[in-house]
């Protein structure tokens, strides 16, 4: 089948790849661009392990066609750390031990970034509601929520100082 040529921006860099019409964005990220941080948990939009941010919106990349990424701006877990420094959300997940096997973790962190981009000061209830689509079999969710609220506080502090 004829492959489609897709031009997009991934984590701030121009990216191009070829994809079959039915290829998902998740498979293109992993197999064509080598960005294997986004995971396939369910492949059906139920677990959030494949979460990415597309033009500022949180998306399950297993449900989006790669061809739909044409001209879009995509953020993946690989884009969060900068110059060897973990993003505050990543750092807080470590500090709060908010992961065990880690399979859900990239999706949880990307979803948390989308939350804090949209709402820098979420309540616990808002954070739990936002992350309800990200399933974790290992940790329970309390440590995750504590990490996200702590990261939110740190990011607000950073903004005040800047
Ligand atoms: S792999 Fe996409 S939601 Fe589970
Ligand atoms: S840490 Fe294992 S699924 Fe979440």
- Residue 74's domain comprises 4-79
Q: Give the total number of structural domains in the chain.
A: 2
* Residues 91-101 pLDDT 10s: 999 999 999 99
Q: Are residues 108 and 71 in the same domain?
A: no
Residues within a 6 A CB radius of ligand 1: 40-43, 45-50, 60, 62
| Residue 49: closest CA among 140, 146, 133 | 133
- Closest residue by Cα to atom 4, ligand 2, is 136
Q: Which of 59, 79, 99 is the last residue of a domain?
A: 79
Q: Which atom of ligand 2 is nearest to the CA of 99?
A: 1
| pTM, two decimal places | 0.97
Q: Are residues 75 and 101 in the same domain?
A: no
* Residues 37-81 pLDDT 10s: 999 999 999 999 999 999 999 999 999 999 999 999 999 999 999
């Amino acid at each position: 089948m004829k492959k489609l040529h897709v031009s997009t921006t991934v984590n701030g860099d121009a990216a191009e790849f070829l994809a079959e019409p039915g290829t998902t964005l998740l498979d293109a990220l992993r197999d064509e661009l080598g960005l294997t941080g986004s995971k396939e948990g369910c492949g059906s939009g139920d677990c959030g392990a494949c979460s990415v941010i597309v033009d500022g919106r949180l998306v399950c990349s297993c449900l989006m066609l790669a061809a739909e990424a044409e001209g879009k701006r995509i953020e993946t877990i690989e884009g969060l750390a900068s110059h060897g420094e973990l993003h505050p959300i990543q750092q807080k997940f470590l500090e709060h031990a908010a992961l065990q096997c880690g399979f859900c973790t990239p999706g949880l962190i990307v979803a948390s970034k989308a939350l804090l981009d949209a709402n820098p000061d979420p309540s616990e209830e808002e954070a739990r509601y936002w992350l309800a689509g990200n399933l974790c079999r290992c940790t329970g969710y309390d440590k995750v929520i504590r990490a996200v609220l702590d990261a939110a506080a740190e990011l607000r502090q950073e903004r005040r100082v800047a």
